[in-house]
Structure 1
Amino acid sequence: MENKVLAVAAGYEITEKDLNAIISRYPQEQRGALQSEEKKKQLVEQLISFELMNKFGKEIQLDKTQEYKDAMENISKEVITSMAINKVLSDVTITDEEVKKYYEDNKEAFGQPATVSARHILVETEEEANKAREEILSGKISFGDAAMKYSTCPSNQQGGNLGEFSKGMMVPEFEEAAFTSEIGKVTEPVKTQFGYHLVLVDAKNEASIKSFEEVKDSVLDNLIKENQHKKYDQILKELEAKYGVERK
């Protein structure tokens, strides 16, 4: 593939490969915005500025200074250290059998709790709750319209919809009513610290375990990270014994 020259600065050719290398350093979600001709021109100008300043720095012999030598030594140390860590961690591998075994041994960790999807109407008194319930049961008004008419909860604008929730997310009295009542049946008034509720359960989902295929990738990632930490700690202990460390 042709590596098109985009500019020449201080005798150095700036190519499409250089431009793409700059773009690749940005986060994935930002790269699309850098594909316009205007943005590319701005990046090329940055590369030109870089080459001009680099040329100037060499002309005034900054590369001969002790500051430069110290900086290069630090950079070299960082690069070698990073490469050494990558070398150590790259040796860590996890087999499909290990992933499967971890899943089978820890199935309970991949459990999905039982949930219900419900709506409610919240009022201050039991009398108000019974009045709203009678209107709903008689067919005078729908539950959603009754919620908008009577409920003091902000969910009234969504017809009392609370969405899906599991145990432990609601106050005990409300939770008990939601999980024990029949789907589609308006409960008797339920008293809580907030007032009186009418509850209508739209759906129930039994507790379940996520399938192996659903969690395989996340299990693999976690096992790799866990084993990498172990390998890293092990290597550090070996290196400490080999090279010596004196903590003061």
Structure 2
Amino acid sequence: MSAVFRLFIALSVCLALAPASFAAQQVVVDKIVAQVNGEVITLFELNEKVKIYTTQVEKRAFNPADPAIADLQARILKTMVDDILLKQEATRLKVVVSDTEVDSRIREMREKGGLSDEQFNQQLRLEGMTRKEFASAIKKDILKKQLLGYMVQRKVVVTEEEVKNFYEGNKTGMKVETGQRIGLIMLGKMDEAKALRQRIASGQISFADAARKFSVGPGAAQGGDLGKVELKDLAPELRQALQNVNAGGVSEPVLLDGKPVLLTIASDTTAKAAPAPVGPPPYESVRDEIFERIYKEKLEKQFADYMEKLRSKSVIKINL
């Protein structure tokens, strides 16, 4: 999976555009925590986003009494204010991001990752987010770039020399991906999953062979291999299914998008069969990732400057 794809997954909740308006009744009964050029953000809306961020991104229970929540509220409120400023500016400039543009961008990312549409949705589910959330993040990214195109004269340019210099200066710290190598088999029916699990557990067939022959999920052609994944980043039901599974073992069937799946964690012997490369990765293998990183840093710097100017000429009241 590309770095850009993982980035959007991690930040999708914060990147989603804030609601355009709020019901009058809600404004009356709920505390107003911010006003942006007359448009309001309520405490209820803010806490809903904080709750979603806490449970989906930070993978922990939402506790309003947690002292850290106040800091998180402030950070997310700033994002919501910026979202409204972006929406208002887009309306002023008549910038519209269509569903077709969003779908096209998602298709490009999916095809770049070699995933079918179904596999793409399954991968999002594995990461604990919905297609709608991901599309919302993509929409805001497109909007940001279009607004920059309107308002920022200079273009973002990344030279090959910059990419090579970054590689030379950071290659000793570049390491192979962390986490545990996870395998997944998705089947059509629960009884099929239970029967196949028995065959794998008894040694009649390997997990990888079973995935190639029977799985209808992502990574089937690679023996169900999803690559290295941090367990904390998995959807809660998958994380729980792997809780008592030893390396090389197979989990009990668990439902994912209504379909039963079997999971495994690669054993030490499996890891030895495909040893991690020694030393820094070759330049060619990380060149695109470095380019994207430098490009994004430059773009974000321009965007931050643009947003600061937008805030300076807006009427913003914070009451948190």
TM range (shorter): 0.3 to 0.5
Give TM-score scaled by structure 1 length: 0.34
Query: Considering only CA atoms, is the larger Rg found in Structure 1 or Structure 2?
Result: 1
Give TM-score scaled by structure 2 length: 0.27
Higher share of residues assigned strand:
1
